[in-house]
Chain A
C-alpha cells in the first residue's frame, strides 16, 4: 500500500463539480443539475412541501446522493468539505419550492449554518417559506445540554430517509418541520476513526493519528472526539461506543432512556476504507449488546454511506421508532446513497 491514496480524478480543484455531473448522470434523468452546484428532482409535484438537504462534497454518497424517490427533493452542494455558498442554497431552494415552502435539513456545522441561513434570508426575500431543522446526532461533540454545538454525522441518512417519507404526505411546512424535529431528537450517533482521508486538492490527510490509536467520538472530518484510545478489537470497541449512545439517551432530559421494548433503526456506517466485513463484525456484537438490553432492531442499515474520502473508521447510529416514525421508515425509497423496498409488516 502506498502512503498517499492514488485517486482517479482529473483537475483536483474541480472534483466537486465533476462528481456532481456524474451524480446527475447516475440518476438517469430522475434528477437535474440546477444553478452552480445543486441537484434537484425533475418531477417534484406541485404544492409538495419540499425537502432540501446539502453540505460539503467529499463525503459521497451523502449528501447529494440522498436526493431521490421518497427522499430529498434537492441538495445544495459545496466544494470538498465546504458548505455550499448562499447563492447555491438559493438556487436549490428556488428549484425545489413548489409553493408550499422548503425545509432545510442538514448537519450542524458553523459553515453550513451561516451559508444556509443567508440562503434562507435571500429565499424569504423572494417570498419562499423556509424552515431549518439541524441534524446534531453526534453525541460526542457536546453534552446534551448544548445540542446547538453538536455535529451532524451518519445519523443524517436515517433522518433524511424518514423526513423524505414524511415529506410525501406532509400538507404543510409546519407538519414536516415537526416530523423532522422529532426524527432528529430520536437519532444519536457515535463515531470512531483509525486513519484519515486525504483532501483531493492537497493530497494531504485531514488529520494525524498514531498507528496504535483510535479516535473515539471523532467526527466525519476527523474532528477529535472524546478520547484517543489504544487500537482494540471490534468486540471491545462496540460496547464502548454503544454505551455512549445509551448514556446520552439517559442523560438528555428531552428524551426517554433507551429501555426494554424499544425498537430502533440501527445503522453501522463505514467512513470510507473500513470494510463491510468489519462493519458486519461490529454489527454482530452490537446486536448482542442491544438484545441484552431488550432493545429490538426494527431494521438495519450497513455500509459506507457517510464517508470522508478514504478515512477508516465506523459509526453507529440509533433512531428510536414509535408508530409515527415507523410509518416514515417503512416506505420504499431509492437514491444513489440508500434504497430499500417497502418494509414487510406482519
Chain B
C-alpha cells in the first residue's frame, strides 16, 4: 500500500480487471425504473431488482442501448409484445459490463428477449385476474343489467384523443336521429397517472350515477402500445364495483386488458362503442315496433275471432228459430193426430160398454125365458107325477079294499072249508052263546044242516 495511484490509474485498473473478470456477454433479468432517449438517439435506462415484497430495491444499475442498436430493438420489442419499453416493465436483456473511468459502471444492452416480457406481463395480468376472481368481483359489472336505451353516457377519455372525437362524431351523426347525452371526464389514458386518473374519474361519475345510463372508457385510436396500464388491478377493481355498466373502447387488436375483461362490454374502438350504443337504441326501438305490430296482429286475430263468433251466432239465429218453429208445428200436428186417435179410441172403448150390454141383454133375456120355461116344464112334470101318484095310491087303496072284501066274503070262507054256525039267525062266535040241546044251523058251501048241541067242551088243545 505504499504506491499511490491516480484516480484515473485506479479507474483503469477497475476497468481492466472487470474486463478480464467479465469477458462474456450476460443475459440479465431486471425491471426498468427509468428510461429516456437522448437527442442522439441513445437510450439510457436505470435497471433495478426489487425484493419479493415489490417495494424495496435490492439492486440497481445503469444501462445504455446505443442508438444504432436501440432503433432496431425498440421496434422489434414493440412488434412482438405490443408494448413499448417503459418504466415498470420487466425485461431480459443481453448485456456487456463496461466500466468507464468517467461515467462508471454501466451495462451495455445489445439484445433483448421480448418473449420474456410477454411472459412476465401475462403472469402479472394473470395474478390480477386471479385476485379479482378470488375476491368474487370479476364479473360484477357484467352482471349489471344493460340499459335498454343507453342514452346518457359518461365518457372517460382525454379530450384531445382522436378516439374521443371519433366517438362523438359517430354518435351524433347517427342516421336514425337518436339523441345521446354525453359528459366527458378528462384524464390521462397512458402513463403513470393513468391509474389514478381513471379511478378518480370513475369516483366522480359514481357520485352522480343516477344521471347516467353507462360509462364509456375510450382511448385514442391507432396506439398499439401502453395497453398494460389497463391491466391495473385498481382500475379493474373499480370497474367491477361500479354501479353502472362500463364499456371499454381502449383500442387494441390482439389482447384484452384486464379492464376490458371485467367491463360490462369490451369493444375494439371508440367508433365500435358508438355503433354499439346506436344499435342498442335502434334495437330498443325495433323491439317497440315489433311489440306494436304483435299487438296489432293479435288484436286483429282477436277481432277476427270475435267477428267469427258473432257471425256464427248470426248464421245460427234464424235457422234455429225456424227449427224451433217447425218442431213446435210438428208437435201441434202430433197433438192433432193424437187427439183424433185417442178420441176415436175413447169412442171405441166407450162403445164397448153398450155393445157388451147389448149381448148381455140378449143372453139375459134368453136365460130368463129359459129359466121360466124350465120352471114350467118342471111344474108339468110334477103335475104329471103327482097326479099319477095320487091315482095309483087310490087304485091301490081301492084294490086293497076289494081284496079284503073278497077275503071276508062268506061264500069264499065256506069254500075254504069253514062253516058258519048260527043260532036263531045270529052267527055264533063263542061257545057260551048256546047251551046243550039248542038247535043250531050250520051252513056249508053247498048247503046247510041243522044240529043239536050234545055237549060243551073247554078248549084244551
* A joins B in a complex: no
